[in-house]
Every structure is written in C-alpha cells, then in structure tokens.
Structure 1
Amino acid sequence: MKGWLAGLAAGLLLFGCTPTAEESVQPSLYPAGEYHGTAMGYQGELEVSVLLTDSHIDEIRAPVCPETTGIGAVVVEQLPGLIVANQTLQVDVVAGATVTSRALLDAVQQAVESSGADLTPLLEEPEEPVSPSLQAQVTEADLVIVGAGGAGLTAAAAAAQVNPDLDIVLLEKTGAVGGDTLRAEDGVNAAGTSVQQQTGVEDGFERMLFDTLAVSGGEEAEPLEVLVGDSSSAIEWLAGLGIPLDALRQLDGSTVERTHFPSDGTPIGQALVDGLADAVQQAGVTLCLNTQATGLVTDAQGRICGVIAESPGVRHYYTGRAVILATGGFAANDRLCGSYRTLLRGLDTVSGDAAQGEGITIAQALGAATVDMQQVLLEPTVHRGSAQIVPRSLREAGAILVSREGEPLEADPLNDAALSEELLAQSGRCGWMIFGEGLLHLLPETLQPYLVSGEDPAALAQSAGLPVEALEAVVETRNAELPETADETGNERYPARLEGTLYALEVAPGIQSTLGGLEITADAEVIGADGNPIPGLYAAGEVAGGIHGEQALPGNMLTDLLVFGRRAGQNAAILLSQGENGDDV
C-alpha cells in the first residue's frame, strides 16, 4: 500500500510540471507503458513497476517491501517521488537504508531498460543535489518504553532495578520529561504507610478500597485491588529512591489523611519527576527526546519485537522483546474525546497538549482492547476563552454559580462531578460564577482581565448579559442566607456576601484527564481483542483504562501511575530475563 501511496505522492509532486503542448511535439524519450524490474534488497527481492509516458517517468510503484519493518518503508515512501519529481536516478540514498535504496534504484533502471529506452537522461546529474528528507536508523534494545512522564519514568527505574544489564530505551515525543505529571498538585494516595503509622493515622486496604469505590461508582476488580494493595509499597519505593513523601493531607472523598506529599514544600509533580528522572539517568537508561512513536512491530507469532518512531529527519526502528506504553491519555484530543461523548466536543482542556492518545491508537492497530473510553475527569470551573482553571477556593469560600438564565445551579459546588454534569446540561454548556469584593483576592491576576463587574445586581446583569430580575433574586436570597459580619465585633463584613462591586466570570467544564484507555491485566499486560494478553506489550498510567470507574478518588491518579508503572517495568524485566522459551538466561 505504501508503495502505491508513494506513487500518488510522486504524481502530486509533478502537478504543474506536465509537458506543454509545445514540448509534446519533441521526440519521444520513452515507449509509453508499464514496465517491471527487480533487485535484491537487504532481506529479499524488491519489485517495482514503472509507468512511462512518451516524455517522462509518470509513476513508480513498489507495492511489496520485504525490507526491515519501518526502515525499508522510508525508501519506498521517498525515493520513487524523488526520481519522478526530478526525472533522474541520480538521487541520494536514504541514510541507514543504503542497501534497500540501491535495490530500488537498480530495479527502476532495469524496468526502464526493459522498455528499450535510452537511459542517458536518467543517468544525468541534476542541477542541484536531490536528497531524501528522512534518514533511517535501526537501534537495538531489550526494552522500549514509550512516554517519559511519571509512568514511563517509573517503569524505566523499576525495570533497571530488576535487571541492571537491560538495554532500556525511553522515547519521549516532546523536548522534556515529565508530561502531565509535572502539573500534579494533590499528592499520592496510599494506605497503611509508615508515614501514617508515625502520625497515628489508622488506614488500611479495606478503608481505601471503600473510599475509592464510593467515589468511582464502579465495582471491585483486580486492577483496582492492585492499586490499593500496592500503594503503601509505592511510597516506600519512592523513599528508597530519595523521594520522600513524608507529609499527609486529607482530600475530598477520603475518610482519613492518606494523600502523601513532600514536607519540604516541593510541588508533588516536580518532586516525582525530578527524583525519577535522576534514578533513570543513574541506571543508564537511554533517553530519546523529540521522538514520536508511530507504530508497534510484532513477529510471526504475534509477539512484540519493536517500535517504529520518528524524530526530526529520521525514521527509527527500535528493536525490543518488550514494549511499555506510557504515553498518557487523550484529554487534548478533541476529536477523540468527542467521538466517545458528544458533549465533550469543543470543551477546553486543562491537560497538556501532548495528551493526544497515540499510544492507544498504535496499540489498537495490533488489536488491543480498550475500556471506559467515555469516562473522563472534568474540572468544573474553567474560564471560557483562556482555558484557565478558576480556583476551587472561590467555591469553597462561597462564590455561587448561575446559568445563562440567571438561575442558581442546584449541584453541590464542591462536588466536581455533579457540578460538571449540571453545567454541561445548561444552554451553552456553561454558567457564570458570581462573587463580591470579599472574594476578589482569591482570583489569580491572570484571570482578572476577563471579569465583568457592576456596582449592583442590575448593573452586573447588564454587563454579563443575564436577566436582571433573576440575578437580583439570586443576590437577595444569597445574602439572606449569610451572616452580615465575619466576627462578633461586627467590624468585618462576611466575605461571601454579594455586596459592593459584584463580579462575574463565565465558566464551563474543562477536560482534566481521561479514565479510559487500553485494557490491562493486574500485571499491566495489554489485553487483545481475544481477551488474552498481547505478548510483550505493557501499559501504565493514563494510557490504560478500567481502573477508576466513572470518577477517580482525588489522589489516586498518581498512585495509579506509580503502581502500574512499577508493575509494567518489573514484569517486562522479568520477561526479558528469560529466554525465548521462558528459560532463565
């Protein structure tokens, strides 16, 4: 197929270069027709067909390429187009695929020779050198990990601990490690840790599992049991790497303090990424930045044997008997999110732009199963237009939310899931956050230019385009519910009261992260459509689904990437420590 596409591309390159009527009366260069040629490539015989007009080579097709997967394809994709566009065989070979390049050039020459045409025009040097835009490169490795966010870094560090002799390659499509993990703020949930014991917090497997199920709306399943059961050891493992999460907080949904974070004030995301990146570097893992995985390779038995990737100017084939996908979710892919739930289409995302779901796509090409693809985590109050999160602290302090019709929303303002769903059900899938002077200090300066304001409810309603009577009723009802002063002295007004200058900010739910993805086993193996694991393929982090149900307990997302990142790395390393038949090596 790629050979035919190469021919089509060559035809497009020729657009605008068709001989004019004046030129067409000149003597014919070639006998028109289709001719064939073959030459021995690196791994087999390469066949081409060449379509000639009386004046030029019109198309070159190489429908079957026996060469190294992904590498020979670079030759087939590029050289035919270069030959056709420049009408010469004097083009540079693809670096890293010299044998295949020479074979294709020889096969084209043989085909033209078989037509009886004079080869002289084809052997003339072009006025300017003609070079392929891509090189080809094969890199041998034992384990290839795709994605250098929190899950990928965890998997690399864990695999290197199991077998320090493994040749591990870590691919990252952006220019830096960390991914969305760098944005994490909450912490890591874990039950029964030494940190909890030292501070007198009573927690354990059953309690954390109960809290998780109460939030998720799901059913108890093995991957979730693994997440909870391995959570404590993940904290201890991090401490062993020099990443102590030695402070606790209690997040919404948890009945005790179980969310772990650094006591030195370092943001949890930064602490994890910095510490794990150091561990990976010390383990000698090869990190390849700006390298985008585009496909997975299997052998005749269906076992994973490598990854196809591209970096600027280079098509790579990374060999490896095991591959771990840690590419993150698809929160920034509007088309993909909208394909699973129409109401999500067009929403802002507060995830990184890199969350496009490519890991899911390339695994699906092998027949990988997916689960819970319609489930996402929504941030309920995101400013429409700037895609900035409006701080939860405003809702906690008493800011209210109304619809475009000026009616107060009924959902608990601190229940993110319920509030998000109610906002999605409103006209325009949005609403307005209303607050007074007493809460203005809670709004970040970057959001203040987007405020609309008014000296009274009527003026604010006019500024925001809300019905005046409806907003006046909301303000009156709200103030009647609140005390007038913040303390017994009566010197300070209650901050949540809607008095003085009033402010409004248009908000809507934004996509924070996705909960659906590749279906995995408790050992982080990717499951195929037949219900069995795909040999040698693992997944961890947001690329995997079926763990959190409809909602994730706050703090569980980082636990997820740590627990299953470790499991993926450990199990891949164990697999690679065995021979082809499962014997220890």
Structure 2
Amino acid sequence: MKKLGKIGILFIIALCLSLTVTACGGDNKEIKQVGTGSGKHNEIKVEVTFKNNEITDIEVLEDKENEVLAEPVYKELKETMISLNNTEVDAVSGSSATSNGYIEAVKDAVKKSGVKLESKKATAKKETKEDVEQTYDVVVVGAGGAGLSAAVEAQKAGADVVILEKMPTIGGNTLISGGEMNVPNSWVQKNLKIEGDNADIFYEDAMKGGDNAGDPEMVRILSDNALSSAEWLKDEIKVEFIDDQLFQFGGHSYKRALIPVGHTGAEMITKFKKVTDKKKIPIKTNIKAEELITDENGKVTGVKAKSSEGTAITFNASKGVVLTTGGFGSNVEMRKKYNPKMDESYMSTDTPGTTGDGIVMAQAVGGEITNMESIQTYPICDPVTGVISLLADSRFDGGILINQQGNRFVEELERRDVISQAILKQEGGYTYQLWNEDIEKISHTIEIHKDEYEQLLKEKMLYKADTIEEAAKAFNIDPEALKATVEKVNKYAKAGKDADFNHRGGLVSLEKGPYYIQKAVPSVHHTMGGLVINGKTQVINKEKKPIEGLYAAGEITGVVHGKNRLGGNAISDIVTFGRIAGQEAGK
C-alpha cells in the first residue's frame, strides 16, 4: 500500500474533523424546520431556524388568526423564545388560544429538528423605549371600539392624540364580540324591505329594555345617532356589513342589528387599525394607566402610567383625557362589591383586561358612579370556558331553548336577563339550544364559526344528529318529550303564532333534520353601571358638575343602558359616544 503524502494526511484529518463537527449537532450549520399547532382559528404553521443549537428565527408560514390580535402576540413570543432559547414560555395575556397554538407549533418544529436547546439565563428586563414624559393634546385610555372611535375623531378635530392600552393587543371586548350593531332605518332594512322602524321606536325599545332606568337624554342621543354612526363606520372606517341579513336581538321590535362580515368585532377592529396606521395615530400597548393628573383647579391634565417593565411614564394632555377602558366583568371582587350574587360561580365572556380600572381612576378625582349593581349575563355560553357562543346566534333565526325535560321554558327572543334567569331556574342551571339545517342555511353560524363548532364538538357540548331521537339521547333528554315539543313548535310555525311564549320573530319549522343541539350556561357579559356622563361625554362629579378635561365613553359609563343592555346596543353605544368624546376633547 502506498504511503500518503503530507498533504493527503492533512486532507484526511480535516475531513474527519468536519464529519465529527457535523455528527456532534451541526455547529455553525443553519437548520430550518416546520412545525404546526392548533390556534384559535385553525392550524398555525411556523418555520423555525436553528444555529449552534439555538433558535435564531421564527417565521409564521400559515395561520387563520385575526391579524390585529395575532401580530403582537407572535412578536412577543418570538422575542421571548429567542432570548431564552426555550419554548417553555407563558401565553400572552388575553390571547391564550393564539399563544398556545404558536407555542405548540414551535415545540413541534424543535422536536422534528432533533435540536437540543440549552436554556439561556434570563437577562435583565429590557429598558422601556418610551420617553418617561410625553405631551399630547388628547390622551385616550383604552384601545377598544370606543377608544378608537374617539381617537379618530379627536385627530379629525385637529388634536394630536395618543391611545394607551394596558393589554398586549388592541380591540378589547369589541374584538371578541359578535360585532352586531342596532341601527333603525338602515340601508339593510331598506334592502330587505323592512318598513316602519325609526329612531323613536329604537328609543322606546332601549328604554323599556333597561327598565326605564337609562338616562332619557343619553338614550335619545344614542337612538338619534345610531344610523349616522353606522354610516361613519361604513364610509370612513370602511367596515363591511352584510347587506342582506339582520339579527333581531331580544327586546327589539324589529330586525335592526347590522352584521359585520365575519360575524365578529374583528372586522371593525381590523379596519380601525388600518385607519389609525394611515393617520399615524400612535397606539401604545402594554402601557397601563394608573392615575389621572389634575391641576390646582381640579382640571384633568394627564395620566400617570406604567410600562410592562415597570417604568413610570407621564402622558400630559393639554386638551383632555378620554377614558374608554370598559367595564369590570372580569374583576370578580369588584363584581361582588356591587352585586354579591355575581361571584366566582359565574364565568365571564369578557377579556381579562376588563377590570374597571378607568372607573376607579375617575372616582379618585371626584367622578360620580351609578347603577353599579346592574350586571348582565349572556344566556348562551360555553359551560366549559364561559365564552360567549356566537355559533348559537342561530337562536335569532329560529333556534329554540329547552330544558333537561325537553320542554321550552322562555321566549327565545326575550331580554338577556330574563332568559338568563329562566335558565338558572331550570334543573342544573343550564339549557340546550336546538336548531336544524334549514335554520343554519339562514344563519350560516356553523359555516362562519367553524373553530367554535369544532371546539364544542371536542368538549361534547354540541352534537349533530339526524333525528330528534338522536339529538335527545345525546344529552339524556326524554326523546318522546322532545318530539312533542318540536311537534308543537312546528304547529306554531305553520300557524304563525306561538301560543306558549309569543315568539316575536315567529317560530321556524323543525320538521326536517339534521339537527344541532348545544348545551349552554349564562356568563357575566356586560356591566351596565359606571361613570355618570352628560351629552358631551364629560364625566360628572358628585356635585353634578362636569370635571374639566375628563371624558368617557362605552361600557365604562353607567347612564345609557339602565338595568339591562339589549343585544346589539353596545356597538351603537361605543361608536356614538366614542365619536362625541373625541370631538369634544379635540376642540
């Protein structure tokens, strides 16, 4: 055998070293791997890049999450995972489903890659990039529908405006709502040839729905401006509403609730975000307002806030502060303080950020509150999570409510509080909603809310059945009793009159299957109480005088809905009074 030359030996040594490095984990070699996870709205697919056994990049390849909600969630999780080189991180507050899907996808990619991650020690918290003192004309606190409406209008009035939001994402309860908006005499009513509705009838419905406890002046403003608010959303914010369908929520005399494309508030928040981006209105997330600043005369001149890193930041407001922080549905202690019945036994449909902060801040500078004991539950919610069921909006097109005995027990289009109380009186404190494919073809709720449908199927809180007998057996209901109830409904639908509960929308035949049956419970949904404001949205003090420089709009206020808010009135409220607040503060 020939001896190798010196150069040949060096070549073999170099080759061996190269192979050894590759076999030991691919140091200095970049690896890319795709992983998938289950988000809120279907699969999230990511591509993770590794180098030297570390995560260097994470790119989202495919997802169906709401863009406005998901973008900051992905950004925060990506930064945390890369800095710690670890996938064992906490979900972003208020976005657990999207967060968990993203985390699951990254973990899947790590597992497939075979890379062994070695966690890095957490470094000192990064410095807040915000200046510790800032000055604007108008400071809006809360980035839900009311706050975004106020900010856009304040800037239009010529003000330099900023929005503060304590959560990582914008949208608040508006984002997770159905987004329906009650509007009398709308273009959709005209398309559907619904005649006779007007602002006066809307006013009477809203007053009666709140047991005549709402401030007549404020309800009048709501009624007279609902149409112009909807047209503003459509024409200026570019919110798309379905032009051939309306809902008739409980307590309303007409079908008048506009439905946004997608049947959720995501349409509105997404379009608002595009507008604020275009107009360069800054939205500062992860900034929690904690205290209002006043001068020697009691005028509100700014807000003291803290970043998520704990840095104190002062936001001066030369013209005014607008509070749009929502209600207190997620604050159990505050609920119990004003209404002891609304304790831990109730789950909530609200976002985690709905904790009454703005109410408390305004009280500290003399703001008056009213109606705080009036806390509404939404009757049809997931018994496992407490989340509102948008899938069950089929109730507004003919779905019926039954108890464990298979009997109807309330009009399905009654007020939310009436239905909720009726449900709680039934065996187990729950109800079942039953509808068929014919109703589904009208509502399209399963088609639109596929993620919720699949979730309820997994939880065994919903079943699809070919026959009434199968639907009954799914939840151990007496099949004969349910058949008798359905036969009665079919009879009433044919006659055009509900002899048992006087269903104001008219019952729909359930003669044909397939059927859908869903279990549901009431959850805390809306707090009608809050700050007292006047027609200019100025916050009123205990002496019944306006607090100069302080405005409020939306669920933080307590004078619009009385003892009970009718479904679909919240969006009309937040946009109408949010706009007024922005216009007044921006003067």
Q: Distance in 2 between matches of 1:256 and 1:439?
A: 22
Match of 1:181 among 170, 174, 181: 174
Q: In the alignment, what sits opposite 2:358?
A: 359
Match of 1:339 among 330, 337, 354: 337
Q: Distance in 1 between matches of 2:471 and 2:258?
A: 42
Residue 280 in 1 paired to residue 276 in 2?
A: yes
Count of residues paired in the alignment? 427
Mean Cα deviation higher: 306-315 or 280-289: 280-289
Q: Distance in 1 between matches of 2:259 and 2:473?
A: 45
Q: In the alignment, what sits opposite 1:552?
A: 565
Q: Distance in 1 between matches of 2:554 and 2:333?
A: 21
Gapped runs of 5+ residues in structure 1? 1-129, 488-493, 575-585
With over 3 angstroms needed to count, the CA separation of the structure-2 counterparts of 1:282 and 1:344, relative to structure 1, is: same
Q: In the alignment, what sits opposite 2:198?
A: 204
Q: Distance in 1 between matches of 2:200 and 2:233?
A: 23
Q: Distance in 1 between matches of 2:472 and 2:256?
A: 44
Q: Distance in 2 between matches of 1:186 and 1:285?
A: 23
Q: Distance in 1 between matches of 2:176 and 2:527?
A: 15
With over 3 angstroms needed to count, the CA separation of the structure-2 counterparts of 1:437 and 1:235, relative to structure 1, is: closer
Q: What is the CA distance between 1:315 and its match in structure 2?
A: 0.7
With over 3 angstroms needed to count, the CA separation of the structure-2 counterparts of 1:394 and 1:318, relative to structure 1, is: closer
Q: In the alignment, what sits opposite 2:143?
A: 148
Contact map agreement 1:479 1:498 (CA 8 A) in 2: no
What RMSD over aligned residues (CA atoms) do the two structures have, in Å? 4.0
Q: Tell me the secondary structure at the aligned position of residue 581 of structure 2.
A: helix
Q: What is the CA distance between 1:529 and its match in structure 2?
A: 1.8
Q: Which one-letter code corresponds to 1:290 in the other structure?
A: N
Q: In the alignment, what sits opposite 2:104?
A: none
- Note the 1:397-412 alignment, pairs <5 A: 400-402=401-403, 406=405, 408=407, 410-412=409-411
Q: What is the CA distance between 1:327 and its match in structure 2?
A: 0.7
Q: Which one-letter code corresponds to 2:313 in the other structure?
A: H
Q: Distance in 1 between matches of 2:400 and 2:186?
A: 37
Q: In the alignment, what sits opposite 1:226?
A: 221
With over 3 angstroms needed to count, the CA separation of the structure-2 counterparts of 1:532 and 1:507, relative to structure 1, is: same
Contact map agreement 2:164 2:288 (CA 8 A) in 1: yes
With over 3 angstroms needed to count, the CA separation of the structure-2 counterparts of 1:572 and 1:459, relative to structure 1, is: closer
Q: What is the CA distance between 1:143 and its match in structure 2?
A: 1.1
Q: Distance in 1 between matches of 2:126 and 2:238?
A: 46
- Note the 1:27-66 alignment, pairs <5 A: none
Residue 323 in 1 paired to residue 321 in 2?
A: yes
Q: Which one-letter code corresponds to 1:233 in the other structure?
A: S
Contact map agreement 1:431 1:506 (CA 8 A) in 2: yes
Residue 190 in 1 paired to residue 183 in 2?
A: yes
Mean Cα deviation higher: 153-162 or 506-515: 506-515
Contact map agreement 1:304 1:536 (CA 8 A) in 2: yes
With over 3 angstroms needed to count, the CA separation of the structure-2 counterparts of 1:462 and 1:173, relative to structure 1, is: same
Contact map agreement 2:138 2:162 (CA 8 A) in 1: yes
Q: Distance in 2 between matches of 1:168 and 1:295?
A: 18
Q: What is the CA distance between 1:208 and its match in structure 2?
A: 1.9
Q: In the alignment, what sits opposite 2:532?
A: 519
- Note the 1:73-112 alignment, pairs <5 A: none
Q: Which one-letter code corresponds to 2:292 in the other structure?
A: L
Mean Cα deviation higher: 455-464 or 178-187: 455-464
Q: Which one-letter code corresponds to 2:143 in the other structure?
A: A
Q: What is the CA distance between 1:190 and its match in structure 2?
A: 2.6
Q: Tell me the secondary structure at the aligned position of residue 265 of structure 2.
A: helix
Q: Distance in 2 between matches of 1:160 and 1:203?
A: 34
Gapped runs of 5+ residues in structure 2? 1-123, 441-445, 447-451, 495-507
With over 3 angstroms needed to count, the CA separation of the structure-2 counterparts of 1:478 and 1:363, relative to structure 1, is: same
Q: Tell me the secondary structure at the aligned position of residue 142 of structure 1.
A: strand
With over 3 angstroms needed to count, the CA separation of the structure-2 counterparts of 1:241 and 1:146, relative to structure 1, is: same
Contact map agreement 2:530 2:557 (CA 8 A) in 1: yes
Q: In the alignment, what sits opposite 1:251?
A: 248
Q: Distance in 2 between matches of 1:373 and 1:527?
A: 16
With over 3 angstroms needed to count, the CA separation of the structure-2 counterparts of 1:558 and 1:451, relative to structure 1, is: same
Q: In the alignment, what sits opposite 2:58?
A: none
Q: Distance in 2 between matches of 1:308 and 1:519?
A: 22
Q: Which one-letter code corresponds to 2:351 in the other structure?
A: G
Q: Distance in 2 between matches of 1:131 and 1:187?
A: 41
| Aligned-residue identity in percent | 25
Match of 2:302 among 299, 306, 326: 306
Q: Tell me the secondary structure at the aligned position of residue 148 of structure 1.
A: coil
Q: What is the CA distance between 1:551 and its match in structure 2?
A: 2.5
Q: What is the CA distance between 1:257 and its match in structure 2?
A: 4.6
- Note the 1:482-561 alignment, pairs <5 A: 507-561=520-574
Q: In the alignment, what sits opposite 2:55?
A: none
Q: Tell me the secondary structure at the aligned position of residue 379 of structure 1.
A: strand
Q: Distance in 2 between matches of 1:559 and 1:522?
A: 15
Contact map agreement 1:189 1:556 (CA 8 A) in 2: yes
Contact map agreement 1:188 1:559 (CA 8 A) in 2: yes
With over 3 angstroms needed to count, the CA separation of the structure-2 counterparts of 1:137 and 1:199, relative to structure 1, is: same
With over 3 angstroms needed to count, the CA separation of the structure-2 counterparts of 1:506 and 1:334, relative to structure 1, is: farther
Q: Which one-letter code corresponds to 2:201 in the other structure?
A: R
Q: In the alignment, what sits opposite 1:216?
A: 210
Relative contact order: is structure 1 or structure 2 higher (C-alpha 8 Å, sep ≥ 6)? 2
With over 3 angstroms needed to count, the CA separation of the structure-2 counterparts of 1:460 and 1:169, relative to structure 1, is: closer
Contact map agreement 2:403 2:426 (CA 8 A) in 1: no
Q: What is the CA distance between 1:344 and its match in structure 2?
A: 2.0
* Superimposed CA distance per residue, residues 436-494 of structure 1 (whole angstroms, 9 cap, x where no aligned partner): 99899968221123338999999999997x8x9xx47744643663669x99xxxxxx9
Q: Which one-letter code corresponds to 2:175 in the other structure?
A: L
* Superimposed CA distance per residue, residues 312-365 of structure 1 (whole angstroms, 9 cap, x where no aligned partner): 331111111310001111122222223222332121111212111111111112
Q: In the alignment, what sits opposite 2:419?
A: 419
With over 3 angstroms needed to count, the CA separation of the structure-2 counterparts of 1:530 and 1:473, relative to structure 1, is: farther
With over 3 angstroms needed to count, the CA separation of the structure-2 counterparts of 1:236 and 1:380, relative to structure 1, is: closer
Q: Tell me the secondary structure at the aligned position of residue 561 of structure 1.
A: helix
Structure with bigger gyration radius:
1
Q: What is the CA distance between 1:515 and its match in structure 2?
A: 1.7
Q: Which one-letter code corresponds to 2:379 in the other structure?
A: P
Contact map agreement 2:178 2:265 (CA 8 A) in 1: yes
With over 3 angstroms needed to count, the CA separation of the structure-2 counterparts of 1:410 and 1:236, relative to structure 1, is: closer
Q: Tell me the secondary structure at the aligned position of residue 361 of structure 1.
A: helix
Q: Tell me the secondary structure at the aligned position of residue 549 of structure 2.
A: strand
- Note the 1:379-394 alignment, pairs <5 A: 379-390=378-389, 391-392=391-392
Contact map agreement 2:152 2:276 (CA 8 A) in 1: yes
Residue 172 in 1 paired to residue 165 in 2?
A: yes
Q: What is the CA distance between 1:285 and its match in structure 2?
A: 2.2
With over 3 angstroms needed to count, the CA separation of the structure-2 counterparts of 1:203 and 1:358, relative to structure 1, is: same
Contact map agreement 2:371 2:530 (CA 8 A) in 1: yes
Contact map agreement 1:196 1:202 (CA 8 A) in 2: no
Q: Tell me the secondary structure at the aligned position of residue 169 of structure 1.
A: strand
Match of 2:287 among 288, 291, 306: 291
Q: Distance in 2 between matches of 1:359 and 1:186?
A: 23
Q: Which one-letter code corresponds to 2:139 in the other structure?
A: V
